[in-house]
Amino acid sequence: MSFNPTPPPDQNPNQSQARQLNLQQMAGQFMAGVQRHLDLLAFHLAGQAATSEEAFRERANAPQLRQLVGPLGNFEQLQAFARDILTRQVIGDATNLAVGCLNNCHLFLALVKASGGAESRSLDPSAQQAAQQSQEAFVRAPLDEKFNLLEEHYGVMCPLEDTVAACGIAIQTLLRNGGILQKQPLSDAEELTFELQTALPLEMTEGKPWFDAVETELKTFRPGERIAFSDTELQLIFFTVAVFAHQLFTAVTRYARDAKGETAE
């Protein structure tokens, strides 16, 4: 399913192709991106697990450089610091992936709505401008408001929206409060909960669509607690974003089919 909006009036069609939004291609590219993050995370986790103090000191001294101030840093402290950096990187990347997915899906939805569901039909300038204005407002909206806009304007629900929002709170906590959760960003909630998705064992998934063969593990933090995840939980954060995106792409496809009067096969 794709959509081809007309180039803006001031854009030379001989120099630039009309932008094409293909939902299936978008989903494939997104999942490939998540897989790269998962692969790189596994590489970093394996490297950290295999690093010894002896190997650290050998590598630190290899260039034969004098220490700038004092002796080499404490190995255990450096391990903890490296772990904090990795956690911030994972949560930040996961949040950015989810936000990018939301923004791209909204653009597709806005174009479908503006076209009245007519796939690959050129929009008149006023309809295209309305879609663009809607997209600009959506991109500027805070993360939690994006979910409200999707539901209000398109009836699109995101079952894992609370976990994606929790990632947004977590990265701010890690960057600003040293990883210690504060009460303020939780609003009326008294805890921060992640619904981490994990794949079911192979013998339990026979006959099930792949992304339906998952179960939920809850990870909860209360104010005053430090946000930290195990190795496996860090990996499940990326996997959870993939499940979230699959649910979102499925809902967007359903909206587009309904707009065209189609029925799912």
**What pLDDT, on the 0 to 100 scale, is given for residue 15?**
32
pLDDT of 180: 95
The DSSP result for 115-174, as a single string, is HTT-TTPPPPHHHHHHHHHHHHHHHHS-HHHHHHHHHHHH----TTHHHHHHHHHHHHHH
Residue 230 lies in a domain: yes
Residue 229 token pair? 């995840």
Selection from 143, 123, 120 nearest residue 133 by Cα: 123
Q: Is residue 173 part of a domain?
A: yes
Residue 66, pLDDT above cutoff 90? no
Q: How many domains, the chain?
A: 1
Angle 238-27-111 from CA coordinates, rounded to 5°? 125
Does 184 score more than 80 pLDDT? yes
Q: What is the pLDDT of residue 16?
A: 31
Return d(Cα 156, Cα 251) in angstroms, integer.
Answer: 6
pLDDT at residue 109, as a whole number: 94
Percent of the residues in the chain that have a pLDDT greater than 90, as a whole number:
56
pLDDT at 135 over 50: yes
Q: Is 217 inside a domain boundary?
A: yes
Q: How many CB atoms lie within 10 A of CB 5?
A: 22
Q: Global pTM?
A: 0.85
Residue with tokens 């806009």: 149
Q: State the number of CA atoms in the 13 A half-sphere of 117 facing the CB.
A: 12
What range does the domain containing 197 cover?
21-45+100-260
Name the band, by pLDDT with cuts 50, 70 and 90, for residue 148. very high
- State the Cα–Cα distance between residues 141 and 149, nearest whole angstrom: 9
pLDDT at 11: 40
pLDDT of residue 69: 67
Cβ-Cβ contacts under 8 Å for 51 (sequence gap 6 or more): 79
Over residues 190-238, the pLDDT tens digits come to 899 999 999 887 776 676 677 777 899 999 999 999 999 999 999 999 9
Q: Which residues of 198-227 are buried (b: 16+ CB within 10 A; e: fewer)?
A: eeeeeeeeeeeeebeebeeeebebeeeeeb
Local structure of 87: helix, strand or coil: helix
- Which residue type does 7 have? P
- What would the two tokens of residue 237 be? 């954060």
Q: Over the stretch 3-16, which tens digit does the pLDDT of each residue have?
A: 444 333 444 333 33
Structural domain contains residue 63: no
H-only helix segments in the chain: 23-50, 53-61, 75-115, 125-140, 143-154, 161-176, 231-260
What pLDDT score does 62 carry? 78
Which of 56-60, 143-147, 179-183 has the weakest average pLDDT? 56-60
Q: Which of 31, 9, 197 is nearest to 100 (CA)?
A: 31
Instruction: Say whether 213 sits in a helix, a strand or coil.
Output: coil
pLDDT 10s digits, 104-116: 999 999 998 888 7
Confidence tier at 60 by pLDDT (50, 70, 90): confident
- Provide mean pLDDT across the span 119-147: 85
In whole angstroms, what is the distance from residue 78 CA to residue 63 CA?
19
Q: Are 191 and 224 in contact (CB under 8 A)?
A: no
pLDDT of residue 14: 34
Residue 92 lies in a domain: no
pLDDT at 199: 86
